[in-house]
A = this chain, B = another copy of it.
């Protein structure tokens, strides 16, 4: 399955990312967050926690599934985390 991708960095603002998550979820039902590094992963998780509170008002219960993936940055292979975010069926 193909998901719309939101890239999250350690400098991303969680409330803004949460707004973007809520927007894509309401249109498409799922979204993929990509984070490289501990700071980025932390912001991604906070963003999902905030998006959960936004969408709980509409009766949606967001869940996420973390997976590893590999990215190449400046010719260096790095392990990164993707979080697939979707609505609990």
Contacts and interface: CB of A to CB of B under 8 A. Distances in A.
A15 B68 CA distance: 13
Interface stretch (A1-9, A22-30, A44-52): A44-52
Interface string A36-56: 011101100110110010000
A46 B48 CA distance: 16
Given A63-B63, A65-B62, A42 B38 contact: yes
A81 interface: yes
A interface: dominant SS: mixed
B52 A41 contact: no
Contact of A65 (B37, B63, B68): B63
Nearest to A84: B63
A89 B61 CA distance: 14
